[in-house]
Chains A and B, each alone.
Chain A
Amino acid sequence: MFDVPEIDYLAILPLIIVFAGGLIGCLLEGFLHRSRRPNAQLWLSIVTLVAALVAVVWVARDNQGITAAGAVTIDGPTLLIQGLVLMLSIIGLLAMSERLGGTNPDAFTQAGVSVPGSVEEADAVRLGGTTTEVYPLTLLSVGGMMLFPASNDLLLMFIALEVLSLPLYVLSGLARRRRLLSQEASLKYFLLGAFSSAFFLFGAVLLYGYAGSMRLDVIAEAIGTQTVMDGLLVPGILLLAVGLLFKVGAVPFHSWVPDVYQGAPTTVTGFMAACTKVAAFGAMLRLLYVGVEAARLDWQPVLAAVAAVTMVVGAVLTIVQTDVKRILAYSSIAHAGFVLTGLIAMQQVGASSTMFYLMAYGFMTIPAFALVALVRSAGSEATHISQWAGLGQRAPWMAAAFSFLLLAFAGIPLTSGFTGKFAVFAAAIANDYAWLAVIGVLASAVTAYIYFKLIVTLYFGDRKNDTVVVTPSALTTFAVVSGVLITLGLGIAPAPLLDLAANAAHFLR
């Protein structure tokens, strides 16, 4: 009675490559001597990600389609999001691998399982323990992120959600310094993540009850024809949305963001902030544009309200922060609101502006966190604003790059931040959400204040502190420079990528 489904292995080749890379990484962990692991794992991961990226480009040419019994859709948006996740995770991984002259990635503890401050931990440090499992963990998470926007089936989407989340929970808890804070962050993320997953599942079940299937195309068909179980539809959609809104950190599902962003190893935060957001918005596009588009009059106002609240709360809370990582965390909440503004505009322009904003945001976030990780005081990261005072004199390049990224966050013209905001607000205005665009503009005005204050602190602040900026290796330098250049490029000549996003914004249903 069970038919073996047709699977187009070529279309899912990028996924296979990444998962295979992750599994090989696990094997290396078991069989390779620990002194050789850091290099081997780094190169394995990079090669895997680059190969997957090449595969994505190749698939994009002529292997699009719905496969695996209708569970996986490989179409324009999927491929764009997958490509974006891969590119971002490459520079994210490079930043995570920063060793600062040591033999191990500097950000990670040498014994993740040990109790902070315990004898075991001291032993691990003495013996030169490594935590190279971060590489396979990252690869597996990336695999989940790539599957997430491709899921045409709620059950698969749930699995992808868990696959991408579980490694992140672990990664968050592996910071080398301030380990208790890091472990607390990890636990919080896990508990709240589990909580939100439950809502996602509940929503999936309600929609199953409504349409008799978890497949998005079946649900889409049922809307408008089904009448008996009508009451299940909107609650189902909204509960699913809650699961996804949690992942992107929209208000009121944002409380975990600042704590986790602050506690997690800084470079992991960068990776998480950029890639998770991209993947989760990709999944949201799939769910809302393909699955329940016909019922949009029911959910659109709710999401518009969420977007408005997210922008306002994110912006207002950003300006009272005194910790650079928390500033970036709250700013990421505000940015989630900006992306949502584009997303609820619907139509092709909604999808394309959303995806463009994600590109812009991703490439400014990872370098920003990578730079934060370089600012040190007494051996650990110095993240309080006052510790950044006057860095412009001592580390001109770092300060210039960070200031530029802050201008991009603020949405100043000739940076990708401006183009992105322009795109999403234009999409919103064109589709009767002008009020949301106005709130967005005001919210960016509010956040601009703290970004400028930070720039002022960097350049004009009182310099009496012992903060130093460590010299990064080529890995981090590459990650930062490429991010900055892309941010600049998308500001000056965004047309090719706007076109790419517009052309890719056609969903297979």
Chain B
Amino acid sequence: MSVLETSVGLALADPSAVRAVEATGTSALAWLLIALPLLGAALLLIGGRATDSFGPLLATLLSWGSFVVGALIVLQLSGLAEDERAMSVPLWDWVTAGDLSVHAGLLIDPLSMAFVLLITFVGSLIHVYSLGYMEHDPDKRRFFAYLNLFVAAMLILVLADSYLLLFVGWEGVGLASYLLIGFWNHNPAYASAANKAFVVNRIGDFALIIAMAYMLATFGGLDFATVHGSAGSASTTILTIIGLLLLLGACGKSAQFPLQSWLGDAMAGPTPVSALIHAATMVTAGVYLVVRSQAIFDLTPEARLAVAVVGAITLLYGAIVGCAKDDIKKALAASTMSQIGYMMLAAGLGPIGYAFAIFHLITHGFFKAGMFLGAGSVMHGMADRVDMRRFGGLSGMMKITWLTFMAGWLAILGVPPFAGFWSKDKIIESAFVDQGNGAWQAWVFGLVALIGAGITAFYMSRLFFMTFHGKARWEDDVDPHESPLTMTVPMIVLAVGSVALGFILSWRGTFASWLEPVTGHVEHHEPVLSVPVIMGLTLVLVIIGGAIAWLRYGRDEVPVVAPVGSFATRAARQDLFQDEFNENFLRRPGASLVAGLEVADDDVIDGGLVGGTSRGLAGVADVVRRAQNGFVRTYALTMLAGIVAILGAVWVIQ
């Protein structure tokens, strides 16, 4: 089939791999992108209390400075011919060990710059918002330092020209997110959530390390040019292993099945953090990783299929969980998970999906960040309550929040002409394309994406109506009020994006052609259903979903205490028993393997995948520890046994 041939051709001539020339002009200043926020973080952390007064403002300005540099670089790139838009900015010679040498450098290309604009623009808006949101926090200087640190790390992640430097950013955003989630660390539950997020992420991180080890062994290098350039010469088995490991890494960072357990708990952090890190930027790093590694995924259909499957599972999983959550932020978190599932699905479809994955990522970054900020604004006005059953009827009290949130809501529903319509619909259409792997795949992925859109409409409308419409169910001590300008202005800007960005970027295929040097040019493919039918079906499902939500949560009275609900509701409320699953199938067997030993349970991480595994390991260790009984005679015997074993083994071998 022609698609396969196209993709092979693409991979061998991967544009990002081969054509990068040394940057000139503004692009040579790309290091400033990272240096500015990094400087902010350093000044604020080292300066200590002395920077309390001007620190937050400085951090905000530096973040905007980074955006300006990014915009100038994009301006320069758009003036160049399409095949000259990939440039490298060498920084320094980093690690040299034997024949291996890794240089630290940046890669400027349409893909990385799209991310840079998203990160710096949304990031800077959230800095502004935080000026209002965190106004009364005594430690806000530290908060802004971490925000700047996050922006810098995220920029390292997307600008890196090698997997190794990408990994630095990858760890950096993990660290920054950890610090930010646990920012209000006087609350043990929050601290534990921070811990869970960081530790679950480690699984993904180590998958990434092992992937790098494989790359090193196979290609002799870790920079994109080497790895992608010679991907064609590696065996399919190796490529599949690398692809699956990269996918696992992506799952950790992007909260995809089966490593999704941490995202809901991470909502314990301050709301601007959720907007920036857990909606717009960091959680999309997994999608970036997959799209950036397309040269590998294009050559291994198995790994790519796995990506699509993971995306499909997560998009349904998140949507179902989202239906039952009463905590406004957790409902948004579930929706983020589900939307990233869409992106993963698109990325897993291969060349026909890459551009749409990134497109949806960008629009989602706007409307979801906007909604999170809206949720923050609601919480601000409602004395930090998050239970939607105690909201209701807020549309009159918080007009700006209501309207901006409505923009985001319509965008995520995919109502034309809002932003989500342009990007999500494309993904659903692509999912329905039969790429020669059998029509059943097209039908399965297509229907999953379609049904997902219907469920999305239901739970997002539920959230919207429960919060802003219906009867007011407030507790007595709250006094809802609109938030200050520093908070509403960023919300308005993001709302404008939620309304218009999709249309602007799709106008004459602007965005797709901007990404073309990286994702390759793809001919139009005909889905198994005709496009108007898909569009029509999607709209119908969205309307049905929205209508049911209106009937149940807008028109009817919402009980302030959650009803017991059916089994399905209860399952969804508990994240489909994810924690229980981890507990029963990972931790318990691990623990009982070591002869039912009482494992010290002072573990602060509860039920997380890593918590389980490590407790299992702790059980094993406990057995070994018994040999460490403090008696010299035992130690000497251990040594002697070791010597005898070694000599015996050698004697047998010889």
Residues of chain A contacted by B537 (CB below 8 angstroms): none
| Interface majority SS (helix, strand, loop, mixed), chain A | helix
The verdict on A234 contacting chain B, using a C-beta distance below 8 Å, is: yes
Residues of chain B contacted by A246 (CB below 8 angstroms): 639
A143 CB, nearest partner CB in chain B, Å: 27
A483–B373 Cα distance when bound, in Å, is: 43
Check A460/B642 contact, CB under 8 A, given A320-B622, A429-B217, A430-B99.
Answer: no
The verdict on A374 contacting chain B, using a C-beta distance below 8 Å, is: no
Q: Most chain-A CB neighbours within 10 Å: which of B198, B610, B632?
A: B632
A234 in contact with B95 (CB, 8 Å): no
Q: Count of A residues near B, CB < 8 Å?
A: 66
Interface string of B177-212 (1 = CB under 8 A from A): 000001001001001001100110010001001100
A493–B96 Cα distance when bound, in Å, is: 10
Check A449/B171 contact, CB under 8 A, given A320-B625, A427-B98, A429-B216.
Answer: no
A429 in contact with B628 (CB, 8 Å): no
The verdict on A229 contacting chain B, using a C-beta distance below 8 Å, is: no
B610 CB, nearest partner CB in chain A, Å: 7
A256 in contact with B635 (CB, 8 Å): yes
A419 in contact with B95 (CB, 8 Å): yes
The stretch that binds A, out of B125-133, B231-239, B304-312, B644-652, is B644-652
The verdict on B42 contacting chain A, using a C-beta distance below 8 Å, is: no
Interface string of B85-122 (1 = CB under 8 A from A): 00000001111111110000000000000000000000
Interface string of B57-76 (1 = CB under 8 A from A): 00000000000000000000
B643 in contact with A449 (CB, 8 Å): no
B97 in contact with A427 (CB, 8 Å): yes
The stretch that binds A, out of B326-334, B403-411, B426-434, B612-620, is B612-620
The verdict on A349 contacting chain B, using a C-beta distance below 8 Å, is: yes
A456 in contact with B614 (CB, 8 Å): no
Residues of chain A contacted by B632 (CB below 8 angstroms): 187-188, 191-192
Residues of chain A contacted by B195 (CB below 8 angstroms): 452-453, 456, 460
In chain A, positions 305-357 with a C-beta closer than 8 Å to chain B are 305-306, 313, 316-317, 319-320, 348-349, 352-353, 356
The stretch that binds B, out of A41-49, A65-73, A93-101, A437-445, is A437-445
A320 in contact with B164 (CB, 8 Å): no
A348–B618 Cα distance when bound, in Å, is: 38
B644 CB, nearest partner CB in chain A, Å: 10
B219 CB, nearest partner CB in chain A, Å: 12
Interface string of A94-123 (1 = CB under 8 A from B): 000000000000000000000000000000
A495 in contact with B217 (CB, 8 Å): no
Check A446/B639 contact, CB under 8 A, given A192-B632, A353-B97, A441-B213.
Answer: no
B590 CB, nearest partner CB in chain A, Å: 13
A462–B192 Cα distance when bound, in Å, is: 12
A234 in contact with B617 (CB, 8 Å): no
The verdict on A381 contacting chain B, using a C-beta distance below 8 Å, is: no
Q: Most chain-B CB neighbours within 10 Å: which of A195, A427, A460?
A: A460
The verdict on B437 contacting chain A, using a C-beta distance below 8 Å, is: no
- Which of A199, A320, A456 is close to B600, meaning CB atoms less than 8 Å apart? A320
B639 in contact with A255 (CB, 8 Å): yes
- Which of B171, B621, B639, B642 is close to A319, meaning CB atoms less than 8 Å apart? B621
In chain A, positions 143-192 with a C-beta closer than 8 Å to chain B are 187-188, 191-192
B97 in contact with A498 (CB, 8 Å): yes
B621 in contact with A316 (CB, 8 Å): yes
- Which of A255, A441, A445, A494 is close to B634, meaning CB atoms less than 8 Å apart? A255
A235 in contact with B625 (CB, 8 Å): no
The verdict on B604 contacting chain A, using a C-beta distance below 8 Å, is: yes
A121–B194 Cα distance when bound, in Å, is: 49
Q: Most chain-A CB neighbours within 10 Å: which of B618, B634, B641, B642?
A: B642
Interface string of A350-375 (1 = CB under 8 A from B): 00110010000000000000000000
The verdict on B35 contacting chain A, using a C-beta distance below 8 Å, is: no
A191–B649 Cα distance when bound, in Å, is: 27
- Which of B167, B198, B625 is close to A452, meaning CB atoms less than 8 Å apart? B198
A459 in contact with B182 (CB, 8 Å): yes
A320–B615 Cα distance when bound, in Å, is: 9
A199–B164 Cα distance when bound, in Å, is: 44
Check A192/B636 contact, CB under 8 A, given A234-B654, A437-B213.
Answer: yes
A399 CB, nearest partner CB in chain B, Å: 12
A429–B216 Cα distance when bound, in Å, is: 8
A sample of 29 inter-chain contacts (CB < 8 A) reads: A195-B639, A199-B643, A234-B650, A239-B643, A242-B643, A251-B642, A255-B634, A255-B639, A298-B650, A305-B649, A320-B625, A352-B97, A353-B97, A413-B167, A426-B216, A437-B213, A438-B210, A441-B210, A442-B206, A445-B209, A446-B617, A448-B202, A449-B202, A456-B194, A460-B195, A493-B92, A494-B94, A495-B92, A495-B93
The 3 closest A-B pairs by CB, nearest first: A252-B642, A460-B191, A255-B635
Known: A353-B98, A449-B610, A493-B94. 18 other contacts (CB 8 A): A192-B632, A238-B647, A246-B639, A253-B642, A255-B628, A301-B653, A317-B621, A317-B624, A317-B625, A319-B618, A320-B625, A349-B97, A352-B97, A438-B210, A441-B210, A445-B209, A459-B185, A495-B95
